[in-house]
A = this chain, B = another copy of it.
Amino acid sequence: MQITPEIIGYVAATLTTCSFLPQAILTIKTKNTDALSLSMYSTFTLGVLFWLIYGLTIQNYAIIFANAITLLLSTCILSFKIYNTLKKKPR
Q: A15–B67 Cα gap in the complex (Å)?
A: 14
Q: A39–B73 Cα gap in the complex (Å)?
A: 15
Q: Which residues of B lie under 8 Å from residue A9 when comparing CB positions?
A: 50-51, 54
A66 to chain B, nearest CB (A): 11
Chain A interface mostly: helix
Identical chains in the assembly? 2
Q: Which residues of B lie under 8 Å from residue A44 when comparing CB positions?
A: 15-16, 19-20
Task: Assess whether A15 is in contact with B50, with CB atoms less than 8 Å apart.
Answer: yes
Q: Which residues of B lie under 8 Å from residue A23 when comparing CB positions?
A: 36-37, 39-40
Q: Which residues of B lie under 8 Å from residue A75 when comparing CB positions?
A: none
A41 to chain B, nearest CB (A): 8
